[in-house]
Amino acid sequence: MNDETKNNYTNKNDYEQLVIKNSNQLQIPPQAYLKIAKLCLVEGKKDISALEEAIAKVDFPKIQTISHRMKGSFANMILDSISKPAMQINELSKKQEKIEEIKELFSLLTKNFSELPL
């Protein structure tokens, strides 16, 4: 885990800058970005619950499927604090190893998700 996988939302100004920067990069209006991001968060909550269950069961194929979906969804929204740990979980689950490291990454992912200011 490194600084790239941690949230950097310390105040409202940072949040507003994130929305402006990401919406500009995606070439969509900030309002559209927020609308899509909120839909992504609804699905993300479901995925986190399912991923938690799959990790508890050490179900690597399910961990891989869910983390792959999260990686893509959050990368598309340029929310790296979620997409990068999801990508790392996905890579480990493909190898079907290091469940303890997956658990640590999942903790980081859920912490970062809960701190998203959207």
Specify the pTM: 0.83
Query: Is 90 exceeded by the pLDDT of residue 1?
Result: no
Kindly state the tokens that stand for 64.
């891989």
pLDDT in tens, 94-117: 999 899 999 999 999 999 998 887
Q: Which residue has the tokens 């995606």?
A: 26
pLDDT in tens, 28-71: 999 999 999 889 999 999 999 999 999 999 999 999 999 999 99
